[in-house]
Amino acid sequence: MNVSISQSTKKPRVLSWQAVFSLITFVFMYLPILVLAFYSFNQSPYSATWQGFTLDWYRHLFSDERILLALKNSLIVAFSAVGISAVLGTLMAVGLARYQFPGKALYRGISYLPLIIPDIAIAVATLVFLAAFAIPLSIWTIIAVHIVFCLAYVGLVVSSRLTNLNPHLEEAALDLGATPVQAFTKVLLPQLMPGIIAGCLLAFVLSLDDFLIATFTASSGASTLPMEIFSRIRTGVKPDINALSVILILVSAIIAFVAELIRASSEKNSH
């Protein structure tokens, strides 16, 4: 009886420490974002002093030609890399899950290496490769290297979706007279679509936010949005950069939230 009483008295203390630790963690993670958003509405051109509320910095972004050009380049890179990765990543995941071939384990390990290799290693290796074959840097070299890591993320998400699917549905379609292509497009692909969309959204956010790899593989006239932001903060963080950062955070959070909803609903439907 005494043991149970002592245990019950310790529980609130443990819970209080958990609450304090959680609060410190959330403050450490999200307080800088709140401060950033607060100063993006600052009327002063200097972030350290508050002079009043204004939306001029957000309006200024849409008339800044360099920002718009960098945004255009980032969107071209992201949409191109994600579009190609969606096709190749889906085919890769299906091939690894449904077929047996020599060297399958080795190929699987190599395919997902970009998930664990540091970005700096990928950037340096790509730059050395391009220099060895005298390939000029451009926006297309950024797209090519973004396909490498986007492909791994799309393939990983689609593979996780494949593990929850019934493989006998394709066999039933083939027994009923469907061709392998028809079984893939009409039976397997609709079931994989939530995973494909979630993987594409995740890869899009990663491609849009990439700075290190793009810096090593971009030409002088093909700056992406993160590169443009970095070039401007060298002289100090201004409210227009704060406003741009807030917009990027909101867009990334919305895309990630939609991807998680799609993934969670697909898993729920599969069960």
Helix (H, G, I), strand (E, B) or coil at 137: coil
pLDDT of 47: 61
All domains of the chain in start order, with CATH: 59-270 (1.10.3720.10)
pTM over 0.85: no
pLDDT of 84: 95
Give the integer Cα–Cα distance in Å for 118 and 215.
Answer: 15
pLDDT of 82: 94
Integer angstrom CA distances of residue 76 from 73, 111, 143, 208, 252: 5, 24, 8, 10, 17
DSSP letters, 21-50, are HHHHHHHHHHHHHHHHHHHTTBSSSSTTS-
Integer angstrom CA distances of residue 4 from 98, 130, 269: 54, 68, 42
CB 40 within 8 A of CB 57: yes
pLDDT of 5: 47
Q: Classify each residue of 114-131 as buried b or exposed e, where b means 16 or more C-beta atoms within 10 Å of its C-beta.
A: beeeebeebbeebbeebe
Taking residue 138's Cβ as centre, other Cβ atoms within 10 Å add up to: 14
Over its length of 271 residues, how does the chain's per-residue pLDDT go in tens digits? 444 444 445 455 555 888 888 888 888 888 888 888 888 888 877 666 777 888 888 888 888 888 889 989 999 999 999 999 999 999 999 888 888 888 888 888 888 888 888 889 999 999 999 999 989 998 999 999 999 889 999 998 898 888 877 777 777 877 777 787 888 888 888 888 888 988 898 899 889 889 999 999 988 778 898 888 888 877 777 778 888 888 888 888 888 788 778 767 766 665 5
pLDDT of 1: 46
Joined tokens for residue 115: 């998930």
pLDDT of 15: 58
> Maximum CA pair distance of the chain?
79
End-to-end CA distance of the chain: 44
